[in-house]
A and B are shown apart, each in its own frame.
Chain A
């Protein structure tokens, strides 16, 4: 059979197949409808929470509840603003810890990735595995000794301490991703710079670093999201009310006063805690998804 005939046959088969699988219009609309329906289901919890957060306090706790807000009130947001030490204290703690974690992760993982990508030395792969150790030794299991150590060296109840734990979480992914990023840039660029008389450190900062900027953005982004959302270590390391991060504050809001949960205020808190994550996801989706793909299965 000639190539032309074969390709015609393929095209015919593909068309026939379209009819079966659903690139034909009827099934296509059906699939789109299913996809839209599932999207609505996935969005519903967040939308309902948003609605509840703008109900009046009474409406938000009304039995039976309503899906839609029939009143509009900023009462719940005012309550969360003034919750205990004040919302900004907790948001400030979360942001401070996340910022430190981002700095730690970048300062540690970027050079490590460069070292792994650009140099050959004995035992390199073993050292790479050492950097992947936090995958094998889950941080949940070493929190007891870390807590004891922090108590001894004064890192308990500090932003730095919690950021260190969040950094541990991010090291394997970040080093792995940076190694891949540096390996992805052509060596010739640096070799040209060597000819021009650059030192190794100049090669690293002037030539290689700008080229892996997307990778650096990605690991920073993941560090932020992990740190902002992390729960267990924050629960253990931060014992003072004024040092609580947002997720720990939310549990406090839920516990409420005198046994009654203030549902509206809780949902206002939930929305506030979700906003940065969704904002990052919407605006930096490209970095987020590509990072996830290269980190997990590349």
Chain B
């Protein structure tokens, strides 16, 4: 078979997907950059306004920075919780014992449920009148009265964190379990001969040997948190007093509620720049692990 011809054929197989990405990702991204320099709105417009939108972001939109700050805070608080709990659960369930495997399956289950759906479920559990999570806290004497979660930004943040932790902690766990199970028995046995205690082994063997997985999952998780929307839209609606808007929420608010497509685009560019850095590292790590 002619080698050159065969090679071109590979491009033919890739063509539909490439075309799709070009039309529905690259072209819109180009449009996004262009639109960010215009005053486009849902009602029309689209005049070139130069850097006006960007100037507005940096000088005239404290709400965006508040939203970005809140998003960062959310990410910085929830990521260690998810990774730490995920790793502990992985340590607990990594062995292929029937009960532990069952637990692994159950802990992972909420990962397949939609974030929107789980947020509505927890919105109910957190309700100050009919919420059973609140009631359980009272019944177990962790709280005196039914807690009102969503009128205080910090409590609201914790409510969201609790619900999201329930929903996604299994994701990290399952990847950590796979990483733990791929550690060779000899290494573990050698440390046992040396008389290392269990927690010494966790620190000297399990953590270092799963480090790349931990890093990767941390990145995936942090990127996901930086893009948080559903859980806040549903549980807090950005409130109280606009204190729990996230970046994506604020872009949605600017673009689709206030109809400022041009300005929303500029906001999206700023967010994309932040995400790109994380994603580039993620792809780099993934491709490196594929080569190994």
Determine chain A's interface SS by DSSP, over half rule. Answer: helix
Whether a CB of chain B sits under 8 angstroms from the CB of A96 is: no
Closest 3 CB pairs of A and B: A119-B10, A229-B114, A115-B13
Interface residues of A in 102-148 (CB under 8 A from B): 104, 107-109, 111-112, 114-116, 118-121, 124, 127, 129-138, 140-148
Task: Check if B120 sits within 8 Å of A296, measured CB to CB.
Answer: no
Question: Given that A9-B193, A247-B116 are known contacts, is A21 also in contact with B198, CB under 8 Å in the complex?
Answer: yes
Whether a CB of chain B sits under 8 angstroms from the CB of A34 is: yes
Interface residues of A in 19-60 (CB under 8 A from B): 20-23, 28, 31-32, 34-36, 38-39, 42-43, 45-46, 48-49, 52, 60
* Given A132-B283, A145-B28, 8 additional A-B pairs, CB 8 A: A35-B92, A36-B99, A135-B283, A142-B268, A149-B28, A164-B24, A293-B174, A297-B213
Task: Check if A145 sits within 8 Å of B124, measured CB to CB.
Answer: no
Chain B residues near A277: list those with CB within 8 A. Answer: 112-114
Question: Given that A38-B103, A280-B112, A296-B220 are known contacts, is A144 also in contact with B32, CB under 8 Å in the complex?
Answer: yes
Question: Given that A49-B121, A289-B174 are known contacts, is A127 also in contact with B116, CB under 8 Å in the complex?
Answer: no
Residues of A within 8 A of B (CB): 9-10, 13-14, 16-17, 20-23, 28, 31-32, 34-36, 38-39, 42-43, 45-46, 48-49, 52, 60-65, 67, 104, 107-109, 111-112, 114-116, 118-121, 124, 127, 129-138, 140-149, 164-165, 167-168, 171, 175-176, 180, 194, 200, 204, 225, 228-232, 235-236, 247, 250-251, 254, 261, 263, 266-267, 269-270, 273-274, 277-278, 280-281, 285, 288-289, 292-293, 296-298
Question: Given that A133-B25, A273-B117, A292-B174 are known contacts, is A144 also in contact with B264, CB under 8 Å in the complex?
Answer: yes
B260 to chain A: closest residue by CB = A144
Q: In the complex, what's the smallest C-beta–C-beta distance from A27 to chain B, in angstroms?
A: 10
Contacting A38 at CB < 8 Å: which of B32, B107, B217? B107
Q: In the complex, what's the smallest C-beta–C-beta distance from B160 to chain A, in angstroms?
A: 14
Chain B residues near A168: list those with CB within 8 A. Answer: 21, 24-25
Q: By CB atoms of chain A within 10 A, which of B213, B217, B227 has the most?
A: B227
C-alpha gap A90/B235 in the complex (Å): 22
Task: Check if A266 sits within 8 Å of B124, measured CB to CB.
Answer: yes
Whether a CB of chain A sits under 8 angstroms from the CB of B151 is: no
Q: In the complex, what's the smallest C-beta–C-beta distance from B146 to chain A, in angstroms?
A: 8
Whether a CB of chain A sits under 8 angstroms from the CB of B183 is: no
Contacting A108 at CB < 8 Å: which of B16, B89, B171? B16
A179 to chain B: closest residue by CB = B290
Task: Check if B120 sits within 8 Å of A251, measured CB to CB.
Answer: yes
Interface residues of B in 246-292 (CB under 8 A from A): 248, 251-252, 255-256, 261, 264-265, 268-269, 271-272, 275-276, 279-280, 282-283, 286, 289-290
Question: Given that A10-B193, A108-B16, A167-B20 are known contacts, is A250 also in contact with B272, CB under 8 Å in the complex?
Answer: no
